[in-house]
């Protein structure tokens, strides 16, 4: 049985209860973890609060050294960690390796920023008086993480939080705590004092809720569904906690008549079916210029049909199972709703058959056309391997439709016309725009949503600012 990591020690839950972690491809038991309670969460928060004063006074260089060492330790175990991540999450091992690499790159990026934080000296109107801006850490941070990219999304919170001098309590998704536990232990082993980084496993409604309500937690970094994010914001507001929310998305991809077809086809196929479509920045609506639509769809069909579905542990698997049964049901309902409203299923649209798929939450990669804008799959986020395709007459129509969503996370434009590309980048209502590029988050660039896709940014030097409070100081020298 895996245990929680609190105050530098492995612990069971005070309730003695455990949660089973099962492989979404086979239903096999991978391990069990403690089913944390409010009291367990309080223990971790108290440990983080106790560790905070000393950690906040360590030099930035010292903090960076710990992260750098942690990167080396985790890198040594990368392959084993990737297999564990696949077993608990379902994605192909090659994607798990990429996720851990991305996490390590992010940790290195923040370690590199540790000594680059700058305050300011500010001239003031009176003679002999000037101002200073100090950048100070905040205190105990709660990091609430979803199951789709459990490791990178833990890193995007823990990296900047620790570098800024804060202490952290991590709450992984209930179904993907195992690899996170291993990584947190290795970060600790790299030299973190006890209590600086803690992890409590258990339900969001209990452990997560305590993070939101406990007055000792001053900052919440949340990634998850928009519905949960609204709740997080509401409860955190009662304690005036600093909040960043990375929420759902329904990213549009616009392919113009002058696009490089080969690259755009790869963009659409990888962009939608990576991680079985379970990415916030996955392409969830494809808008094709009328004149290229038929050819594009035909070629995309071939490409998607060649994606090998299977257990993520098999080397040739390109698309794994969905992560949970209830989620597969939701995808099925969204497809049925689209069909009822007139959509055509080009490929997929059902579960695969065969022994190897019987026990897992598999769903065939699916392409839909003729979906009306009122379809649930257009209005809601579709978190699975289904791509609805639309035809548009020009850029204006494409942008109008792209912007018609309540989400605003990412969007891409595929064209070789510079003016079109720039116009689209300005007019698309999204926190991130890609021009002729896969929807990928980079550690160097700020990432986050507008509208109902979130508040605040992760990644980039910008993210570090969300873990620091600027303090204004007035100095009278006269």
* Residue of 13, 166, 167, 174 interacting with ligand NAD (CB under 6 A): 174
What whole-number distance in Å separates Cα of residue 343 and Cα of residue 370?
A: 5
What whole-number distance in Å separates Cα of residue 223 and Cα of residue 231?
A: 12
* Residue of 19, 166, 180, 223 interacting with ligand NAD (CB under 6 A): 223
- Least distance (Å) from ligand NAD to the CB of residue 92? 18
CA 422 to chain centre: 27
What lies within 8 Å, CB to CB, of 429 at 6+ separation is 402, 403, 408, 411, 450, 451
Residue numbers 251-280 binding ligand NAD by CB under 6 A: 280
**Cβ proximity to ligand NAD, 248 vs 384, nearer residue:** 248
Q: Would residue 246 show up in a list of annotated catalytic residues for this protein?
A: yes
Residue numbers 400-459 binding ligand NAD by CB under 6 A: 409, 449, 453-454
Q: Would residue 183 show up in a list of annotated catalytic residues for this protein?
A: no
* Residue of 37, 148, 334, 415 interacting with ligand NAD (CB under 6 A): 148
Angle at Cα 116 formed by Cα 110 and Cα 120, nearest 5°? 135
**Cβ proximity to ligand NAD, 182 vs 415, nearer residue:** 182
- Least distance (Å) from ligand NAD to the CB of residue 328? 13
Reading the block at residue 276, the tokens are 């079985």
186-215 mask for ligand NAD (x: CB under 6 A)? ------------------xx--xx--x---
* Residue of 24, 159, 224, 271 interacting with ligand NAD (CB under 6 A): 224
Q: Is 228 in the site for ligand NAD (CB under 6 A)?
A: yes
Whether the Cβ atoms of residue 145 and residue 157 lie closer than 8 Å to each other? yes
Residue 408 φ/ψ, nearest 5 degrees: -155, 55
Full strand arrangement of the beta sheet holding 344-347: 344-347, 366-369, 386-392, 283-289, 251-255, 410-414, 432-435
**Cβ proximity to ligand NAD, 78 vs 451, nearer residue:** 451
* Residue of 144, 199, 254, 413 interacting with ligand NAD (CB under 6 A): 144
Q: Which of 144, 338, 318 is nearest to 231 (CA)?
A: 144
**Of 141, 183, 276, 280, which is the active-site residue?**
280
Reading the block at residue 107, the tokens are 């940790």
What lies within 8 Å, CB to CB, of 16 at 6+ separation is none
- Least distance (Å) from ligand NAD to the CB of residue 250? 9
- Least distance (Å) from ligand NAD to the CB of residue 430? 11
Q: Find the helix packing angle between 78-89 and 178-189, rounded to 10°.
A: 150
The two beta strands, 167-171 and 140-144, are parallel
* Residue of 185, 194, 225, 397 interacting with ligand NAD (CB under 6 A): 225
Q: Which residues of 78-90 are buried (b: 16+ CB within 10 A; e: fewer)?
A: eeebbebbbbbbb
- Least distance (Å) from ligand NAD to the CB of residue 315? 26
The three-class DSSP label of residue 49 is: helix
**Of 88, 99, 246, 452, which is the active-site residue?**
246
- Least distance (Å) from ligand NAD to the CB of residue 448? 7
- Least distance (Å) from ligand NAD to the CB of residue 83? 22
What whole-number distance in Å separates Cα of residue 209 and Cα of residue 215?
A: 12
Q: How many residues does the chain have?
A: 478
Q: Is 249 in the site for ligand NAD (CB under 6 A)?
A: yes
Residues found near ligand NAD in the complex (CB under 6 A): 144-149, 153, 171, 173-174, 204-205, 208-209, 212, 223-225, 228, 231-232, 246-249, 280, 381, 383, 409, 449, 453-454
Residues known to be catalytic: 246, 280
């Amino acid at each position: 049985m895996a245990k929680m990591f609190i105050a530098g020690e492995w612990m069971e839950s005070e309730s003695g209860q455990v949660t089973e972690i099962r492989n979404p491809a086979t239903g096999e038991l991978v391990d069990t973890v403690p089913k944390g309670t409010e009291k367990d969460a309080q223990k971790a928060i108290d440990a983080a609060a106790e560790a905070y004063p000393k950690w906040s006074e360590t030099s930035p260089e010292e903090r960076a050294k710990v992260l750098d060492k942690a990167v080396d330790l985790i890198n040594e175990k990368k392959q084993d960690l990737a297999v564990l991540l696949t077993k608990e999450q379902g994605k192909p091992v090659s994607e798990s390796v990429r996720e851990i690499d991305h996490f390590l790159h992010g940790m290195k990026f923040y370690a590199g920023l540790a000594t680059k934080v700058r305050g300011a000296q500010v001239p003031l109107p009176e003679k002999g008086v000037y101002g200073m801006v100090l950048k100070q850490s905040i205190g105990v941070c709660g990091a609430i993480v979803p199951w789709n990219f459990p490791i990178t999304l833990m890193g995007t919170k823990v990296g900047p939080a620790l570098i800024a001098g804060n202490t952290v309590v991590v709450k992984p998704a209930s179904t993907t705590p195992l690899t996170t536990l291993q990584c947190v232990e290795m970060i600790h082993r790299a030299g973190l004092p006890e209590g600086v980084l803690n992890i409590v496993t258990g339900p969001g409604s209990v452990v997560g809720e305590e993070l939101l309500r406990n007055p000792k937690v001053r900052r919440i970094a949340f990634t998850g569904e928009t519905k949960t994010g609204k709740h997080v914001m509401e409860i955190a507001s009662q304690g005036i906690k600093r909040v960043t929310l990375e929420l759902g998305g329904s990213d549009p991809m616009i392919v113009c008549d002058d696009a490089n077809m080969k690259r755009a086809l790869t963009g659409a196929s990888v962009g939608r079916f990576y991680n079985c479509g379970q990415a916030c920045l996955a392409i969830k609506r494809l808008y094709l210029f009328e004149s290229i639509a038929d050819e594009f769809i035909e070629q995309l069909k071939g490409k998607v049909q060649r994606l090998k579905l299977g257990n993520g542990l098999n080397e040739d698997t390109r698309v794994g199972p969905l992560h949970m049964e209830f989620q597969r049901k939701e995808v099925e309902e969204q497809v049925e709703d689209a069909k009822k409203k007139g959509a055509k299923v080009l490929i997929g649209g059902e579960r695969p058959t065969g022994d190897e798929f019987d026990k897992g939450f598999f769903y065939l990669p699916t392409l839909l056309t003729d979906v009306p804008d009122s379809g649930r799959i257009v209005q809601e986020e579709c978190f699975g391997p289904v791509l609805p395709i639309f035809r548009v007459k020009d850029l204006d129509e494409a942008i109008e439709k792209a912007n018609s969503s309540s989400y605003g996370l990412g969007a891409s434009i595929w064209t070789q016309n510079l003016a079109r590309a720039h116009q689209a980048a300005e007019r698309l209502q999204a926190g991130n725009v890609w021009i002729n590029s896969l929807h990928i988050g980079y550690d160097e660039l700020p990432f986050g949503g507008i509208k109902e896709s979130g508040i605040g940014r992760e990644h980039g030097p910008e993210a570090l600012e969300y873990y620091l409070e600027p303090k204004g100081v007035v100095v009278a020298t006269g």
